[in-house]
Amino acid sequence: MALLSSSSKGVVISLPVLVLTGAAFSAVLLFFLFSSPPPPAPCNCLVTPTTTTVAAVGGSRSGAGERISTTIEDIEWVKKQIEGNGLHMADNVLRKGINPRTRQQQLQDLLQFKGISHYEGEQANNHTALPCPGELLVEEHHSNYGEPWAGGRDVFEFLAESAHLTPDSQVLEIGCGTLRVGLHFIRYLNPEHFHCLERDELSLMAAFRYELPAQGLLNKRPLIVRGEDMDFSKFGSGTMYDLIYASAVFLHMPDKLVWVGLERLAGKLKPLEGRIFVSHNIKFCSRLGGEECTKRLKNLGLEYIGKFTHDSLLFNHYEIWFGFRRVRA
| Residue 172, domain member (yes or no) | yes
Write the CATH number for 250. 3.40.50.150
The rounded mean pLDDT for the chain is: 85
Q: Does the pLDDT at position 33 exceed 60?
A: no
Residue 47 lies in a domain: no
How confident is the model over 158-212, as pLDDT tens digits?
A: 999 999 999 999 999 999 999 999 999 999 999 999 999 999 999 999 999 999 9
**Which among 187, 151, 168, 177 is positioned nearest to 315, based on CA atoms?**
151
257, 265 contact by CB (below 8 A): no
Residue 157 lies in a domain: yes
Q: How confident is the model at residue 215 (pLDDT cuts 50, 70, 90)?
A: very high
Whether the predicted pLDDT of 321 surpasses 60: yes
pLDDT of residue 113: 83
40 or 241: which carries more pLDDT confidence?
A: 241
* Mean pLDDT, residues 236-264: 95
Give the tens place of pLDDT for each residue, 66-125.
789 999 999 999 999 999 999 999 999 999 989 899 999 999 988 888 777 888 888 887
φ and ψ at residue 30, rounded to 5 degrees: -65, -35
Distance CA 158, CA 56 (A): 8
Q: Please tell me the total count of domains within the chain.
A: 1
Instruction: Examine residue 241 and state whether it is found in any structural domain, yes or no.
Output: yes
Q: Write down the pLDDT at residue 30.
A: 43
Find the range with the poorest average confidence among 124-128, 172-176, 229-233, 281-285: 124-128
Is residue 243 included in any domain, yes or no?
A: yes
Angstrom distance (rounded) from CA 110 to CA 267? 49
For residue 168, being part of any structural domain is answered with yes
Q: How many CA atoms lie within 13 A of 106 on its CB side?
A: 13
Whether 282 is in a domain gets the answer yes
Q: What percent of the chain has pLDDT over 90?
A: 69
**Residue 95: inside a domain:** no
Domain that holds residue 168: 148-326
Q: Which residues contact 239 (CB under 8 A, 6 or more apart)?
A: 170, 195, 268
